[in-house]
Amino acid sequence: MSSLDRRGTSPRPGVSPAGKIAPLLIATIKTADRAHTVGKQRHPFTHPPRGYDEAFDDTLSSQAPPEQCLHRWTIKPNQSVLPDQVNEEEPNYKLACICQNCRWHLDIVFEVKQSLCLTREYPLHHFVNFQVVQSSVGEWLYGNCSVCSSVIHIKYRPPRLLPEDVKLLTDPALLQERFEDAKAADPGRELHKAATAVEVLDALAAYLRDCQKPSPERKQIPVGNKRFLISFGIDCNQVLTKLGFAEGVSTWSLPELPPPEPWADDTLRTTVEDAQEEAWALMRKFEMETKLLMFKGYRARPPPFDNEVNRVLGTAEYQAVPRRRRSATLAEVAWYEGLGALPDFPDSFLRYAFERQVAHDPAGSPYYFDCLQKIATKRDSEELNITLATLASEGYFGRNEVASAYKYFLLDTSKAQTLSDDYIRNVFETRLASAPTSQESEIRAMLKIIGEDRNSQQLQDAAANVVKTYEQALKWLDSTLDSSVADEYIITLAATRIGDRPSDQETCRNVVRVIAEERNSDFIRNWLITGEVQPEYAEDELTSAYKFFQINERNSDLSLEVLETVRQVKVLDDPHLEKEARKHYEVLLRHITGTGAMGKPDYANPVGLSNMGNTCYLNSLLQYFFALTPLRKIILDFDSYKMALSSTETFQPKKVGGREISRREVEKTQEFVTELRDLFRDMASAPGPVVNPSWRLAGLALAQDGTVQRRMTLMGNEHPLGSPKEKADPIFQNFVEVDGKSRHSSSPVTVTITGDDSSEITLVGDPVLTPDSDDEAKEEADDSSIVLVPPSSQNIEERPDPESMDQDVPITSIEKPAPPSRPPPVPPRPQNAPKLDGWREKAEDAAQQQDVAEVIDNVLFKIQCAIKPTSLDKDGAQMDSIQELFYGKYLWTYSDQNLEDKEEAFNTLFLNLVTKPRDVYAALDGFFDVEHFDVDGKTTERFATITQLPPILQVYFHRQQFDTEKGESYVIKHHVQLEETLYMDRYTSATPELRAAREHSWKLKEQIKQLQDRREKLTETKCKLPAPDVLDATYEFLSELGDFVEDAQELQEGLKMHSARRRKDLQTINDEINECEVVSSSMFEGLKKFGYQLSAVFFHRGQGGMKGGHYWVYIHDFKGNVWRRYEDREVTVVRDLSQIFGESDPAIQGAPYFVVYVRDDLKNKFVDAVCRHEPEPTGSDGDVDMTDAEDSGAAIDEADPTSAYHG
């Protein structure tokens, strides 16, 4: 954003971009009155200086507080830690101060981090990033030095003795009443006169002094003490009690104080010491210092503030310009404040102030340059003028120069924010092309100013005529070019450019060189060498590789899958060529993966995955699975986990997920895991930044025909009911048992298929075969002539919410997309080469019918089918490593005694967003909280309780719903605040106390819902406007009509009264809702035993539901303490975490659909986002024996990952 734009925006709330050099900070501390503020005033610490943001300045009040205090700060020695009292190893200082005028207190704590400042290079501290810490009393702030990182805390606190207390102690009329009461109570006692205000304050100070002296016994004051009686009487009891005095039967005990501790923040000792200082300050208001010295409770004036604060903040040696500060006008002071300086700064310190401001806030450099320029003009300083000339030669400029640069290109400065860099560059190039050569330097200088002001590297490079990247090179030749342009056209453009402007010859050759290196084009390189286009040129290793494999299309989109196929065919034709084929294969592999023929492999960062079509969510989940250390261990070391297959005759089907798995299904899933292992090996060892998943892998992962289908974990409100204890209830007639879970259905749909490959499945349709399907795919279809899709794997995004639709509403399926128009380019190969098109079509077709949650569930299920069990449960079902990682259990508890409580396993929690929960906890509440439903006309309740938590907790946000009125699906574009740390204790009900807390929270939520319903009724109108606003608008309308409406005044009064009543009722309801929400949110704050850390977040953007649009995933690298964004080929470090956690427009920035949490104690063992290493030398068979870089299995083998996480 340019400085012109920035003047129209407010600074980041609470933080000023400008800093303060130490002398200015001291001056600000001394003058800031935080007790008296009027309206929206400029905050002396957190708001930017005047002129930095003119639009923001206009929003501030110019009215000065009527009672602003001119502070006279003095030191409170007992609470201070001064430089001569500090341990050199821990140089932390504290200045405790009190204002002798307003009696406010000020604490300055300075934590020294490094000894960089107070040197010749950095003569003074430069304090930045001031922020206000909310406090119930006073104001607390903190900031830090931009050089040495030392931290300063500034705390303003109001007096301990409030105005009403001071009145009780000093009002002459009250003192006289006290005297009269004492005489009346004891007429025989000699009492000559009432106490004066100074005498009362002296008595209080004396008592407070005595209680600070060490004493074995607590000192007592008799109630009948003459001095005590006429000074305090009985109407000051509240004041004394507040200060720690204890009232007895006949005595008052002095406060009993803790030991002295200057670092203590707010103890009874600090209260007493503060009150004592305030008593002395009040005494000085009533009497001269010379007379006060006669009072025994008084202490002479304490040390002044200036000397000590200069020692602490290192400004004692600062040499000010004499009388400069007094002569400065308000406008001049604003210039100095802009630099964080004072008018008495010498010229050398002003340059230092400018350098520190720009180093901390580069975007504000034009403003700071203007400030320095105005000061130099006012001072008429030769030294500053030389400084300005030096800075200008270094590229600094002011806001006027920025405005002039925009005008130079005929650009509207008021619309600078809306102009893109590409647009500005096009204007620049047009101007440059039409201008004479003599103006080129001026045109480039103007663009340089704009580029630096916008912080645009593209514009700066264009101004400097520098080309560094491939994209810049194309734009330099022609702004309309893209990467598809032929090499011949590149040469034509370059030759034309050199002919038109010979001065660009060197730059043009560099541009063409960049393009040649990016494309690895010997054709363009030859032109650079010879200046001629020749059909034949020197052959390099890349050319040799292409020729060896007989690939003639140099610019074709050669995938790793095709390359591997070509290599295998070559070796099959002639096994003696294996070594040479491997050499040429590695050359092309480096070229395809982006490192170039001579490039160096990069093993320090994760690789991206090429998007082969509508499979971006497959890439996201593959990246997520690869980052999970235990799962990656299973895949890479598949041979150790693989289920051994006996002969067909002796094979015994195993039971996974509630049904038997046939031998054929085990074989197919093992094929899938083998493909996945090959991909993981490439992801770990590929030399380039991008790996291409094979179409075979995508087809096996997404397959819908003839492969095992996974039963989706139940979602939203589709929770299964319990089993009846005695006989079947009518409600169970509409539920189908699938995988041990009940699901609502309008009719029975389960059929049984017999045979070797059979299992209890749901018949939903026929397989899809195309003419291009390969023989293997047809064989699969012949072997499994029906589609194996259980009811639970029905398209969850297209299924309407059961509560929002009638059972008779049909659910339409997604129309299958047309097959792709053309296959990827394939080089020449023998007729018997394996065909790949069938897998591609199969993957693309399946990708249209599933979302990321379905695929994750199916992939995990396929891995379970492929691996051997670790044990069997009581029903003979397989227990395995996948279950140990991803599966937990929860228990449904029913209030109806006829329904039996039921425990279920889950690998994903499906959370409904219909109620628009504000955060993850609220969404989880919707799943686990109590709910009501009818059984035979009788209302009963149920709720869920976690009995076993998984090490990896997967959560799915169900965003797509069904509108029964429109008959179409829609996406809930609602922001759900993600929690970095999630505590699941509240859902475990591990103790009776926790169960009671949950029940109480349910009652509070029900109360909140009732209040919200009441609020909606009070605001609801037919015109969709809030009712009070409608009443007010009607009132205004009648006011305008005046005498034209009979009884208008009576109507107006009624409307006004009714509107006021509604607003009052609404305010009462809102207050009650807030109170309930505060209580509800605080009930589980202390429960932090079962902690999870956010590990991965799948984002989706698009209007077509989860099966359309675009997916990417964020993965947390716990070891590197960074988040990365994985978006197909691109893997980037996330600098701004608001991409993940901030509230944004889902249509533009996308929204989280699937999030993953990992147990806090296992996060470093279970997540390794960067598993990269060089491949081991190949064996004779060409295979690489590769395992995970870390023996991640230890995370599972050393201890049960679920041992401590049972509810």
pLDDT tens digits for 745-783?
333 333 333 333 333 322 223 333 333 444 444 444 344
Rounded distance between C-alpha atoms, residue 345 and residue 339, angstroms? 11
Bridge partner list, 549: none
Q: Which of 93-107, 132-146, 467-481 has the lowest mean pLDDT?
A: 467-481
Rounded distance between C-alpha atoms, residue 1162 and residue 1200, angstroms? 11
Using CA of residue 524, residue 525, residue 526, residue 531, what is the dihedral sign? positive
Indicate whether 1044 pLDDT > 60.
no
Give the angle 769-774-1109 at the CA atoms, nearest 5°.
60
Select the more confidently predicted residue: 1100 or 500.
1100
How many other CB atoms are there within 10 angstroms of residue 628's CB atom? 25
Give the angle 902-906-910 at the CA atoms, nearest 5°.
105
Nearest to 712 by CA among 744, 739, 733: 739
Indicate whether 977 pLDDT > 70.
yes
Residues in the chain, overall count: 1207
Assign 644 a pLDDT band (cuts: 50, 70, 90). confident
Sequential DSSP letters for 1071-1117: HHHHHHHHHHHHTTTT--SSEEEEEEEEEEE-SS-TTSSEEEEEEEE
Assign 66 a pLDDT band (cuts: 50, 70, 90). low
Give pLDDT, residue 172. Answer: 92
What percentage of the chain exceeds 70 in pLDDT?
Answer: 74
Give pLDDT, residue 982. Answer: 93
Give pLDDT, residue 394. Answer: 83
| Average pLDDT taken over every residue of the chain | 76
Q: Which of 244-248, 349-353, 643-647, 1203-1207 has the lowest mean pLDDT?
A: 1203-1207
Select the more confidently predicted residue: 176 or 555.
176
606: buried, middle or exposed (CB in 10 Å: 19+, 13-18, 0-12)?
buried
Tokens describing residue 149:
């990182």
Indicate whether 467 pLDDT > 60.
yes
Rounded distance between C-alpha atoms, residue 902 and residue 263, angstroms? 57
268 within 8 A of 180, measured Cβ to Cβ = no
CA 1092: distance to chain centroid? Answer: 17
Select the more confidently predicted residue: 722 or 518.
518
Q: Where are the beta strands (DSSP E) in 203-356?
A: 220-222, 246-247, 251-253
Q: How does strand 878-879 pair with strand 871-872?
A: antiparallel
750 within 8 A of 762, measured Cβ to Cβ = yes
For the chain, percent helix, then strand, then coil, each to nearest 5? 45, 15, 40
Using CA of residue 785, residue 791, residue 796, residue 801, what is the dihedral sign? positive
Bridge partner list, 532: none
Range ranked top by mean pLDDT from 242-251, 530-539, 602-611: 242-251
Q: How does strand 952-958 pair with strand 909-912?
A: parallel
Average pLDDT, integer, range 353-361: 92
Rounded distance between C-alpha atoms, residue 398 and residue 1075, angstroms? 52
Q: φ, ψ for residue 346 (rounded to 5)?
A: -70, 165
Rounded distance between C-alpha atoms, residue 399 and residue 53, angstroms? 12
Select the more confidently predicted residue: 277 or 962.
277
Rg (CA), the chain: 39
For 183, the 3-state DSSP assignment is helix
Give pLDDT, residue 315. Answer: 87
Indicate whether 11 pLDDT > 50.
no
741 within 8 A of 770, measured Cβ to Cβ = no
Indicate whether 1105 pLDDT > 60.
no
Select the more confidently predicted residue: 273 or 137.
273
What percentage of the chain exceeds 90 in pLDDT?
Answer: 22
- The residue written with tokens 């006949």 in the block is 250
Nearest to 740 by CA among 575, 905, 868: 905
Q: Which amino acid makes up residue 983?
A: Y
Assign 1094 a pLDDT band (cuts: 50, 70, 90). very high
Indicate whether 228 pLDDT > 80.
yes
Indicate whether 153 pLDDT > 70.
yes
Indicate whether 1004 pLDDT > 90.
no
Q: Which of 426-435, 450-459, 507-516, 875-884 has the lowest mean pLDDT?
A: 426-435
Rounded distance between C-alpha atoms, residue 646 and residue 979, angstroms? 48
Instruction: Tally the C-alpha atoms within 13 A of residue 829's C-alpha that lie toward its C-beta.
Output: 21
Indicate whether 324 pLDDT > 70.
no
Average pLDDT, integer, range 372-389: 90
Instruction: Tally the C-alpha atoms within 13 A of residue 315's C-alpha that lie toward its C-beta.
Output: 20
Q: How does strand 735-738 pair with strand 741-744?
A: antiparallel
Nearest to 38 by CA among 67, 71, 72, 70: 67
Average pLDDT, integer, range 28-45: 83
Q: Which of 382-386, 501-505, 672-676, 936-940 has the lowest mean pLDDT?
A: 501-505
Tokens describing residue 430:
């047009």
Q: Which amino acid makes up residue 297?
A: G
Rounded distance between C-alpha atoms, residue 82 and residue 766, angstroms? 85
Give pLDDT, residue 953. Answer: 96
Select the more confidently predicted residue: 194 or 840.
194
Range ranked top by mean pLDDT from 36-50, 312-326, 755-769: 36-50
In eight-state DSSP terms, residue 421 is H
457: buried, middle or exposed (CB in 10 Å: 19+, 13-18, 0-12)?
middle
Average pLDDT, integer, range 703-730: 40
Assign 507 a pLDDT band (cuts: 50, 70, 90). confident
CA 480: distance to chain centroid? Answer: 37
Tokens describing residue 912:
């409904």
Q: Measured between alpha carbons, how far apart are the two ends of the chain, in Å?
A: 52
Q: How does strand 909-912 pair with strand 723-724?
A: unpaired
Select the more confidently predicted residue: 347 or 1107.
347
Tokens describing residue 893:
């508890």
Nearest to 632 by CA among 1188, 208, 1203, 1: 1188
Give the relative orientation of helices 629-636 and 852-866 as an angle to the nearest 10 degrees: 50
Q: Which of 312-316, 498-502, 750-754 has the lowest mean pLDDT?
A: 750-754
Average pLDDT, integer, range 653-669: 86
Give pLDDT, residue 866. Answer: 92
Indicate whether 256 pLDDT > 70.
yes
Q: From residue 707, how far is each of 391, 647, 676, 776 by CA, in Å?
A: 70, 21, 16, 13
Q: Which of 139-153, 223-237, 258-272, 495-509 has the lowest mean pLDDT?
A: 495-509
Rounded distance between C-alpha atoms, residue 1108 and residue 798, angstroms? 12
Indicate whether 281 pLDDT > 80.
yes
Q: Indicate left, alpha or beta for 701 from its phi (over 0: left) and psi (-120 to 50: alpha).
A: alpha
1202 within 8 A of 948, measured Cβ to Cβ = yes
Indicate whether 1183 pLDDT > 70.
no
Indicate whether 537 pLDDT > 60.
no
Give pLDDT, residue 126. Answer: 94
Nearest to 1043 by CA among 1034, 1051, 1054: 1051
Select the more confidently predicted residue: 703 or 1003.
1003
Q: Which of 229-238, 558-567, 734-743, 1169-1178 has the lowest mean pLDDT?
A: 734-743
Q: Which amino acid makes up residue 538?
A: A
Alpha helices by DSSP H, 785-919: 837-847, 852-866, 881-886
For 970, the 3-state DSSP assignment is strand
Tokens describing residue 871:
């044990």
Rounded distance between C-alpha atoms, residue 489 and residue 908, angstroms? 54
The string of pLDDT tens digits covering residues 567-597 is 778 877 777 777 777 777 777 776 766 544 3
Give pLDDT, residue 190. Answer: 76
Q: How does strand 608-609 pair with strand 690-691?
A: parallel
109 within 8 A of 103, measured Cβ to Cβ = no
Give pLDDT, residue 284. Answer: 86
Select the more confidently predicted residue: 1061 or 920.
920
Give pLDDT, residue 790. Answer: 33
Average pLDDT, integer, range 1063-1080: 83
